């Protein structure tokens, strides 16, 4: 009987483990039990992002169109979005805002990217290393200030009530409406979300 009970429990353990592995979709304190009794999420605004978030900017520095992206340096879906956004950089400036959600390396690597002399090049190096399963860039030096910024970014993301990374915040280029999206997506879908011109021959479907 004990053996049968263990067999019945084992599939449930596998399901729970698979959910834990989906780290890019799980942030601390987002379960129903944790949210019980908490105040409602703060309204998302571009003004709040500009005033409180700390990130690094890539793309058209002169563009009036700004897109904010909460990302975790240990999140593979964030790396996918990093690459998907590259063809759209001529149409908007993307501000990448590191948060610390998945593990301790999230904070240290996010801080390293903020401290880099060329954050875009460091991000490319980091994502190449992650793809090769080499762990990403190494943290070095005194990063206390940058780590504090990552912690503040994480608190801001949680205050807005977002539960997944990457999270995109921007305004539609044609309508001016605020748009948000949790999860990665291919280039054409990202362009459609933001009202930008999509490159030719790009898939439109999105995924979390």
Condensed to tens digits (0 to 9), the pLDDT of residues 86-110 reads 999 999 999 999 999 999 999 999 9
Q: How many Å apart are CA 187 and CA 82, to the nearest integer?
A: 10
> Across residues 143-167, what is the average pLDDT?
97
- What's the pTM? 0.80
Q: Is residue 10 part of a domain?
A: no
Q: Is residue 169 part of a domain?
A: yes
Q: Is residue 31 part of a domain?
A: no
The pLDDT, as a whole number, for residue 184 is: 96
**Vertex 58 angle, CA 52 and 60, to 5°:** 105
Q: Are 70 and 102 in contact (CB under 8 A)?
A: no
Q: Is residue 201 part of a domain?
A: no
Q: Could you tell me the pLDDT band of residue 141, with boundaries at 50, 70 and 90?
A: confident
Q: How many Å apart are CA 88 and CA 65, to the nearest integer?
A: 11
Domain span at 183: 45-194
Q: Is residue 153 part of a domain?
A: yes
- The tally of domains found in the chain comes to 1
């Amino acid at each position: 009987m004990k053996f049968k009970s263990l067999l019945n429990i084992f599939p449930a353990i596998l399901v729970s483990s698979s959910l834990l592995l989906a780290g890019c979709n799980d942030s601390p304190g987002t379960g129903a039990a944790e949210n019980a009794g908490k105040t409602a999420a703060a309204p998302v605004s571009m003004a709040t992002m500009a005033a409180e978030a700390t990130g690094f900017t890539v793309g058209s520095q002169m563009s009036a169109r700004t897109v904010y992206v909460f990302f975790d340096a240990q999140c593979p879906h964030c790396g996918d979005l990093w690459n998907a956004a590259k063809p759209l950089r001529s149409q908007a400036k993307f501000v990448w805002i590191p948060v610390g959600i998945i593990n301790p390396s999230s904070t240290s690597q996010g801080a390293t990217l903020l401290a880099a002399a060329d954050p875009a090049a460091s991000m490319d190096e980091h994502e190449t290393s992650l793809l090769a399963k080499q762990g990403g860039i190494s943290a070095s030096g005194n990063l206390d200030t940058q780590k504090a910024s990552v912690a503040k970014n994480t608190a801001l993301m949680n205050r807005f009530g977002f539960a997944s990374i990457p999270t995109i915040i921007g305004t539609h280029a044609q309508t001016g409406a605020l748009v948000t999206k949790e999860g990665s997506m291919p280039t054409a879908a990202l362009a459609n979300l933001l009202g930008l011109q999509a490159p030719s021959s790009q898939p439109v479907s999105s995924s979390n």
